[in-house]
Structure 1
Amino acid sequence: MARTDYFDDPQAPEPNSIVPAVSVIARDESGRVLLIHRTDNDLWSIPGGAMEPGESVRQAAVRETREETGYDVDVTGLVGVYTDPRHVIAYSDGEVRSQFSICVTATVTGGQARTSSESSEVVWQPVGQLDELAIHPTNRLRIDHALDPGRIQPWLT
C-alpha cells in the first residue's frame, strides 16, 4: 500500500484516524543508526509501525524491528511520544492518519539484516552521514533526540 507523508502542508488531507505506533532507534557498537529504506514512500526511516491489539509498546517495537530489518532487539529506553498534528500520513486505501508514535531505544540481540515487503534496504548509517539520506523531518527529529547526550527527559511533540 502506497503512502504519502505530509508535514506542515496546508494541502494535506484531513486525518480520519489515529493509530498508536512505535518507532525504534537502534545503534551498533560503532554508534551507527539502524535504518530502512521504506518501500511505501521511498524515504529512509527508523524501523517501526502500528501496534496490534493486545501488544505492549515493547512487543510492538521488537516485532516491527524484526519484520522490517531481520534483527532481534531488546528495548532499552524511551525517546519520546510524538503526536505532531502537522504530520499527516495518507494511504492509498483512503486512510489518513494523524501521527501518534512512541519512540524507543533498543540494542540488537541477534538476527541478521534482511529486507521485507516494507523495506528495500537495511543499513547501519554513520551518524555523520545521516544528512546524505532522504529522511522525513519527524523521523530525523526522533533520531536527533535519541542522539542528544544532554537530553534528560523524553520530548513530547
Structure 2
Amino acid sequence: MQRIANLLAIQDGKVLLLQKPRRGWYVAPGGKMESGESIYEAAVREFKEETNVTPSNVQLKAVYTIIIKEDDAVVDEWMLFTFVARGVEGTPFDETREGKLEWHTIEDLDKLPMAEGDRTNLLFAALKEGIQYGTFEYTKDFKLLSSRIQTS
C-alpha cells in the first residue's frame, strides 16, 4: 500500500495550492513517502521540494484511506496523511514539473476544480479543529463513489 503525505500551507487567509497539469485539478503539495520516513518528515520534504518554501507550525490534520474501484473490485489503495502549516518562509516557485503554484483564498477551496475527497480534506484542514479520518472510494476516473468521515 502506497503512503502519501501532503501539506496545506495557510498564510494571510490564503492557501498555497498546486495545479496539476493532467486534469487541471488543485491539490496540496505532497507525494510519496520514502522508506524509513515518518509521515511528518515526508510531508515537509515533499512540500519543500515542490514549493521552494519552508512550512511553519506544522500539524497533522487528517488521515485517509483512498480506494480506487473498477466494477466493484479494488484496483488501487493508498493512505493519505494531510498536514497543515500556519505560515511559510521563503518565496514559492511559480511553476515546477509538478504544476503551477498559486495562492488562493480559503473560500476558493469550495469552487476550484479538484477531487471531491480533496475538497473535503482541504476545507477541514483549513477551517476546522481536531483531526479528521476517513475513507474515500473513487472510480478510476476519480468520480467519488462513497465516503466515510470521522472527526476527533
For normalisation by structure 2, the TM-score amounts to 0.74
Structure 2 CA distance for aligned equivalents of residues 112 and 87 of structure 1:
39
For 1:104, the aligned partner's letter is F
Residue 75 of structure 1 deviates from its aligned partner by 5.2
Residue 74 of structure 1 deviates from its aligned partner by 3.5
The alpha-carbon distance between structure 1 residues 43 and 124, as it changes in their structure 2 partners (threshold 3 A), is same
Partner of 1:20: 3
Structure 2 CA distance for aligned equivalents of residues 71 and 97 of structure 1:
31
Partner of 1:47: 29
Residue 80 of structure 1 deviates from its aligned partner by 1.3
CA contact 1:23–1:104 (8 Å) conserved in 2: yes
Q: CA RMSD in A?
A: 2.2
Greater RCO, 1 or 2 (C-alpha within 8 Å, sep 6+): 1
Q: Which has the higher strand share?
A: 2
Please give the secondary structure, in 2, of the residue aligned with 1:54.
Answer: coil
Residue 97 of structure 1 deviates from its aligned partner by 3.7
1:105 to 84, 98, 104: 84
* Paired residues for 1:55-134 under 5 Å: 55-74=37-56, 76-86=58-68, 97-114=76-93, 115-119=95-99, 121-134=100-113
CA contact 1:71–1:108 (8 Å) conserved in 2: no
For 1:152, the aligned partner's letter is G
Q: Structure 1, residues 44-64: CA drift from partner, whole Å, max 9, x if none? A: 111111001121112111111
Residue 152 of structure 1 deviates from its aligned partner by 3.1
CA contact 2:62–2:82 (8 Å) conserved in 1: yes
Are residue 32 (structure 1) and residue 11 (structure 2) matched?
Answer: no
Please give the secondary structure, in 2, of the residue aligned with 1:58.
Answer: helix
The alpha-carbon distance between structure 1 residues 72 and 35, as it changes in their structure 2 partners (threshold 3 A), is same
Please give the secondary structure, in 2, of the residue aligned with 1:52.
Answer: coil
Aligned residues: 130
CA contact 2:9–2:88 (8 Å) conserved in 1: no
Q: Structure 1, residues 32-78: CA drift from partner, whole Å, max 9, x if none? A: 11101113443111111100112111211111111211111135211
